[in-house]
Amino acid sequence: MGPWEIVIICVAAVVLFGGAKIAGLGKNAGKAIHDFKAELNKDDKAEAEKPTEAGQ
């Protein structure tokens, strides 16, 4: 795809959905990624703090 085709698709998306709705989608996607990373880090910390059984 060339740069003009991408510009036309972006303009069509803004016309169809409106700028506010597209901004809201971006905000929600960012929040979902942030929450997902926070849960991964929380699981890693809980696993690191779990005592291991020696002698097995």
For the segment 40-54, what is each residue's pLDDT rounded down to a tens digit? 888 777 777 766 665
Residues 6+ apart with CB under 8 A from 13: 22
Three-class secondary structure assignment of 1-17: CCHHHHHHHHHHHHHHH
Name the residue range of residue 23's domain.
18-44
Mean of the per-residue pLDDT values of the chain: 85
CB 14 within 8 A of CB 22: yes
- Within a domain: residue 31? yes
**pLDDT one-digit tens code per residue, 27-41:** 999 999 999 999 988
- Within a domain: residue 56? no
- Within a domain: residue 34? yes
| pTM of the predicted model over 0.75 | no
CA angle 18, 20, 24 (to 5 degrees): 120
- Within a domain: residue 12? no
- Within a domain: residue 37? yes
Give the torsion through C-alpha atoms of 39, 42, 43, 47, to 10 deg: 180
**What is the domain count for the chain?**
1
